[in-house]
Amino acid sequence: MSNVTVNISFQDRLLRDIDRVARGEARSRSELLREAARAYIQRQERWTQLFALGREVAAKRDLKPQEVATEIAAFRKSRVSRR
């Protein structure tokens, strides 16, 4: 797999934070940013899969958007009352 160099702009404060974290982990700035990009992509893919599952379940149960919202609210309320 080949590497490609890209130019990207950061605000000064964010770049200082990136460099501070990279130093603290004994990593290069590039390593840190690659890992951050991978983590972001993985998180987005998980959310996409989760929403697809939610749509599938709602379709199988013939739930309307308001019914889904009502079910979510009821579930959240039941979790709070268990505490």
Total count of domains within the chain: 1
Residue 32 lies in a domain: yes
Q: How far is CA 80 from CA 66, 73, 74, 83, in A?
A: 21, 11, 10, 6
User: Is residue 46 a part of any domain in this protein?
Assistant: yes
Residue type, 35: E
Range of the domain at 68: 12-81
Distance CA 44, CA 39 (A): 9
pTM above 0.75, yes or no: no
With tokens 């603290």, the residue in question is 24
Q: Distance (Å, rounded) from C-alpha 16 to C-alpha 32? A: 13
Write out pLDDT tens, residues 22-81: 999 999 999 999 999 999 999 999 999 999 998 898 899 998 888 888 988 999 999 887
The answer to whether residue 1 sits within a structural domain is no
The reported pLDDT for the residue numbered 48 is: 97
In a domain, 44, yes or no: yes
Are the C-beta atoms of 29 and 18 separated by less than 8 Å?
A: yes
